[in-house]
């Protein structure tokens, strides 16, 4: 008997504790003192009467609002999160579908382009003389960025497509081990990517500020229209577009990745929506619950990453098999002078002027 009494005392104490801790700021509903029946708008499902259905209360609960909870996991203050179903459908439907179309689409376009155009050759062949294009620091930063991005892209794509494409081939246990390893790799390599992104931004931002030559370069399709290569400085307009996509998308993916690493602690999507509403006059919802924040961040992170993967596939094509003489710039750091004159004539002139000025400044022996 004493045992039973102690048991109920403990249960009662725990219930009180939970009730005190879980104090959702939802409207309170009272029972009539006279009849004991629920008054107008009482909580539905009440066993005594249950006659009234409080649609407004349920609407508030289903809106995903976060109530106040004591404890570190603030997300437990959300009772029902209907948007989770919407998120799940996008995550398993349009996201993989459009991603697959985009990646297959760019591979198809590049293959067709390569089939018709072949490798872009140097018009005047090799001159035998080279010119330094990138320092060791520039190449090191580029390859850190490139290798970390490729690891992040492969491990990230596994999260989108792995279950459909890999699981049936390698089986459940191998897939689970691979995906777990990939997840850790993804989380840690992200930091190497961020460091490289900052380095590349610092090293090259000065060369990527748009100028009037970029307009000419774009109007002449980078040399495909009007014959001959339009003049360009260190980077042409096409490369500047790649640079800014890498920097801006890379930053956005890094920030949303940071938010995903620290779940339920940021309100970046609400803040971005509020900023967009005030600057662009959009009407995005700004009162997102913490779980909704997390869901939208996963979608944003994935969509940005897939967009960047598509752009980078095109970049890798141009920087390797697509154009003769380009890859050396990132391997040895030296490019043939004819290649440099063809693609970056203004940059070659600048380099010549700089070396002449240096020669003059140095006293003759």
Please identify, using beta-carbon distances, which residue of 276 and 338 lies nearer to ligand HEM.
338
Q: How far is the CB of 321 from ligand HEM (least distance, A)?
A: 9
Asked if 302 and 99 count as a contact pair (C-beta separation under 8 A), the reply is: yes
DSSP string, 140-206: HHHHHHHHHHHHHHHHHHHHHHHHHHTHHHH-HHHHHHHHHHHHHHHHHHHHHHHHHHHHHHHHHGG
Please identify, using beta-carbon distances, which residue of 263 and 328 lies nearer to ligand HEM.
328
Task: Look at phi and psi of residue 118 and say left if phi exceeds 0, alpha if psi is from -120 to 50, else beta.
Answer: left
Please identify, using beta-carbon distances, which residue of 145 and 290 lies nearer to ligand HEM.
145
Q: Of all residues in this chain, which one has the CB nearest to ligand HEM in the complex?
A: 319
Q: Which helix (H) or strand (E) holds 22?
A: strand 22-23
Asked if 87 and 297 count as a contact pair (C-beta separation under 8 A), the reply is: no
Q: How far is the CB of 252 from ligand HEM (least distance, A)?
A: 13
Q: How far is the CB of 332 from ligand HEM (least distance, A)?
A: 11
Q: How far is the CB of 65 from ligand HEM (least distance, A)?
A: 39
Please identify, using beta-carbon distances, which residue of 133 and 301 lies nearer to ligand HEM.
133
Q: How far is the CB of 129 from ligand HEM (least distance, A)?
A: 17
Please identify, using beta-carbon distances, which residue of 216 and 324 lies nearer to ligand HEM.
324
Q: How far is the CB of 212 from ligand HEM (least distance, A)?
A: 19
The tokens for 140 are 């090191």
Please identify, using beta-carbon distances, which residue of 239 and 297 lies nearer to ligand HEM.
239
Residues 6+ apart with CB under 8 A from 69: 21, 22, 23, 24, 76, 77
Binding site for ligand HEM (CB under 6 A): 133, 142, 145-146, 149-150, 200, 235, 239, 242-243, 246, 312, 315-316, 319-320, 326-327, 329-330
**How far apart, in Å, do the first and last CA atoms of the chain sit?**
108
């Amino acid at each position: 008997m004493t045992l039973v009494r102690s048991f109920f005392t403990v249960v009662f104490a725990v219930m009180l504790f939970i009730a005190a801790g879980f104090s959702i700021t939802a409207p309170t509903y009272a029972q009539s003192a006279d009849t004991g029946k629920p008054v107008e708008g009482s909580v539905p499902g009440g066993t005594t009467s249950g006659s009234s259905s409080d649609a407004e209360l349920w609407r508030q609960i289903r809106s995903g609002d976060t109530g106040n909870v004591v404890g570190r996991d603030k997300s437990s203050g959300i009772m029902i999160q209907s948007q989770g179903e919407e998120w799940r459908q996008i995550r398993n439907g349009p996201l993989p579908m459009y991603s697959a179309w985009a990646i297959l689409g760019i591979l198809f376009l590049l293959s067709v382009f390569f089939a018709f155009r072949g490798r872009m050759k140097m018009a005047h062949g090799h001159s035998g003389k080279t010119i330094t294009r990138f320092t060791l620091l520039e190449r090191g930063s580029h390859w850190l960025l490139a290798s970390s991005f490729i690891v992040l892209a492969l491990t990230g794509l596994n999260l989108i497509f792995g279950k459909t494409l890999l699981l049936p081939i390698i089986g459940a246990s191998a897939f689970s081990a691979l995906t777990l390893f990939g997840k850790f790799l993804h989380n840690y390599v992200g930091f190497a990517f961020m460091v490289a992104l900052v380095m590349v931004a610092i090293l090259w931002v000065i060369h990527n500020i748009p100028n009037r030559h970029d307009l000419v370069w774009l109007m002449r399709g980078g040399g495909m229209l009007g014959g001959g290569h339009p003049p360009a400085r260190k980077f042409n307009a096409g490369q500047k577009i790649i640079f800014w996509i890498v920097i801006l998308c890379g930053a956005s993916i890094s920030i949303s990745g940071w938010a995903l690493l620290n779940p339920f602690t940021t309100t970046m999507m609400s803040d971005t929506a509020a900023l967009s509403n005030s600057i662009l006059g959009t009407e995005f919802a700004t009162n997102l619950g913490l779980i909704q924040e997390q869901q939208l961040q996963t979608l944003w992170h994935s969509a940005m990453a897939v967009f960047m993967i598509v752009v980078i596939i095109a970049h890798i094509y141009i920087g390797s098999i697509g154009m003769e003489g380009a890859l050396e710039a990132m391997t040895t750091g030296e490019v043939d002078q004819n290649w440099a004159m063809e693609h970056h004539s203004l940059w070659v002139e600048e380099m010549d002027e700089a070396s002449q000025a240096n020669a003059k400044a140095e006293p003759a022996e």
